[in-house]
Chains A and B, each alone.
Chain A
Amino acid sequence: MAEQKAPSPANRARIQQNVISVFCVLAAIMVFVWLILSSVSLETDTGDNSSNSADESSSVISADKNKEDVVKNDDSSSDDSSAPQPVTKDSDDFADACFVGDSRTVGLSMNSGKPLATFYCATGLNVSSALDEKNITLDNGNMGNVSDALAQHQFGRVYVMFGINEIGWPYVENFQAEYEELINAIKEKQPDAKIYIQSIIPITASKESEGEPWTNENVRRFNVAVKAAADNCGVEFLDVGSALADANGYLPEEASTDGVHLVKEYLLKWLDFLIQNT
């Protein structure tokens, strides 16, 4: 910008003043822009607490329009506390799946984050009471057994897990026979579904220290019967238990608060195993 002419002193002064003016204007514009950006970020930070809940609510509203997306949104928006991160998220919404089982499946029903999945389960349910007692709430509000429940809808997949309440039974043969009766009842009510019989998840070493019947040897013994029942009925056996066990075949201590029922992190590992293998 240097003038090649020889400016007079007055002209030079004028040029210098102009340059200074331009720089001042530029500086003012930079300050102006910085202040605007600062107030925008301040507005965002201050409103963050109030907008956080609104975001959660709006993600639920969007759920009514598109449930598949909600599984993604909520899994990311609900992580504002100490909850462990889920292993997998959206690759399977289990909309065509039904889970049948005992209190371990109850834990899964509460923590799965899969609102489209169906759960027919109850605390204390076993392979005998599943058919003999009415422990499942049906769509009409009445109570029914597992067979009544499965008569209500047709599913693409049925995941079954029983056994932890039965490991103290004196005769494992009776357990196997009852399980086969249950599997056949499920097949009858769900002729087109892919049925998966899941192995019994082991217990922790601390639970095992309570003694009989709480031993992983019993879990292993009854799992032999679980597999035999699945094979005899021509349905698939899924070794969920081994997927969650440590190298010694125990449920890790951090996987459970009482040695038997899984914490959310391990319930999601269970779900992840199903996503990867079915």
Chain B
Amino acid sequence: MNKKKLTALLLAGVTALTMGLTACGDGSSSESGSKSSNSAESSKSVTEIADELRNSITFKDNLNPLEEDMYEKLYGVTADSYKSAKIYIGGGTIAEEIACFEAKDEASLETIKNAINKRIENMKQSSKDYSPEEMGKLEDPVIVTKGNCVYMCISDDNAKAKEIIG
């Protein structure tokens, strides 16, 4: 009798523990799921927006993701200023680029926005003598700020870029 009771108790305990742990597991996975959707101000993250800009707009150049350890070199943006970011760059002669950042706070957002403007000025400096046909895009880049996120896209399709960024 004791053995039966013990076995029954053990089984009940294991079942209860299993249910409890899986509930926690489901809870935390759905919690992290909601965190990932709330991490950006919109329903899509800045990296998702950058990817969508890259994949939905027709670019003349071959754009590739810029390595993160090059962000400071090319944009002057340091890692302590953003939560997430993605930059797509080309070969340097065609004015096409994507840069999306989720800043850590308002002050960092201003720093990043200034860095983006400086980057565009540098591109203008490079283009004005040898690729004047690129200047039009650099004079009218898409730069959108939403909350602590800033999205920049230089392309031949500003309308599409604005539609994607929202």
Interface residues of A (CB under 8 A from B): 17-18, 21, 24-25, 28-29, 31-32, 35-36, 38-40, 42-43, 45-47, 49-54, 56-57, 59-61, 63-64, 67, 70-71, 74-75, 77-78, 80-81, 83-84, 103, 106-107, 109-111, 113, 115, 122-124, 257-258, 261-264, 267
Residue of A nearest to B11 (CB): A28
Q: List 18 A-B contacts (CB under 8 A).
A: A32-B18, A36-B18, A36-B22, A39-B26, A43-B25, A46-B30, A49-B45, A50-B36, A53-B84, A54-B84, A56-B84, A60-B69, A61-B79, A106-B92, A107-B91, A113-B67, A261-B92, A267-B91
Interchain nearest-CB distance for A83 vs B (Å): 4
Is the CB–CB distance between A25 and B33 below 8 Å? no
Find the residue from B3, B47, B51, B72 having the highest chain A CB count within 10 A: B47
Is the CB–CB distance between B92 and A110 below 8 Å? yes
Interface residues on B, range: 35 or more
In this assembly, does B111 line the interface, its C-beta being within 8 Å of a C-beta of chain A? Answer: no
Residues from chain B with a CB closer than 8 A to the CB of A123 are: 92-93, 126-127, 129-131
In this assembly, does B117 line the interface, its C-beta being within 8 Å of a C-beta of chain A? Answer: no
Residues from chain A with a CB closer than 8 A to the CB of B71 are: 60
Asked if A257 meets B126 with Cβ closer than 8 Å, knowing A39-B29, A115-B70, A262-B91, the reply is no
Is the CB–CB distance between B7 and A25 below 8 Å? yes
Residues from chain B with a CB closer than 8 A to the CB of A36 are: 18, 21-22, 25
Alpha-carbon distance between A63 and B73 when the two chains are bound, in angstroms: 13
Find A263's partner among B45, B83, B91, B130 (CB 8 Å cutoff).
B91
Residues from chain A with a CB closer than 8 A to the CB of B62 are: 257, 263-264
Is the CB–CB distance between A60 and B68 below 8 Å? yes
In this assembly, does B60 line the interface, its C-beta being within 8 Å of a C-beta of chain A? Answer: yes
Is the CB–CB distance between A110 and B83 below 8 Å? no
Alpha-carbon distance between A29 and B10 when the two chains are bound, in angstroms: 10
Residues from chain B with a CB closer than 8 A to the CB of A110 are: 66, 70, 74, 89-92
Residue of A nearest to B84 (CB): A53
Asked if A35 meets B51 with Cβ closer than 8 Å, knowing A25-B14, A49-B36, the reply is no
Is the CB–CB distance between B14 and A29 below 8 Å? yes
Residues from chain B with a CB closer than 8 A to the CB of A28 are: 11, 14-15, 18
Alpha-carbon distance between A123 and B33 when the two chains are bound, in angstroms: 46
Asked if A81 meets B68 with Cβ closer than 8 Å, knowing A43-B32, A47-B33, A103-B92, the reply is no
Residues from chain B with a CB closer than 8 A to the CB of A258 are: 93-94
Residues from chain B with a CB closer than 8 A to the CB of A17 are: 4
Alpha-carbon distance between A28 and B86 when the two chains are bound, in angstroms: 46
Find B21's partner among A35, A45, A77, A111 (CB 8 Å cutoff).
A35
Interchain nearest-CB distance for A27 vs B (Å): 10
Find the residue from B54, B60, B70 having the highest chain A CB count within 10 A: B70
Alpha-carbon distance between A52 and B46 when the two chains are bound, in angstroms: 12
Is the CB–CB distance between A42 and B25 below 8 Å? yes
Asked if A24 meets B83 with Cβ closer than 8 Å, knowing A50-B32, A107-B91, A123-B93, the reply is no
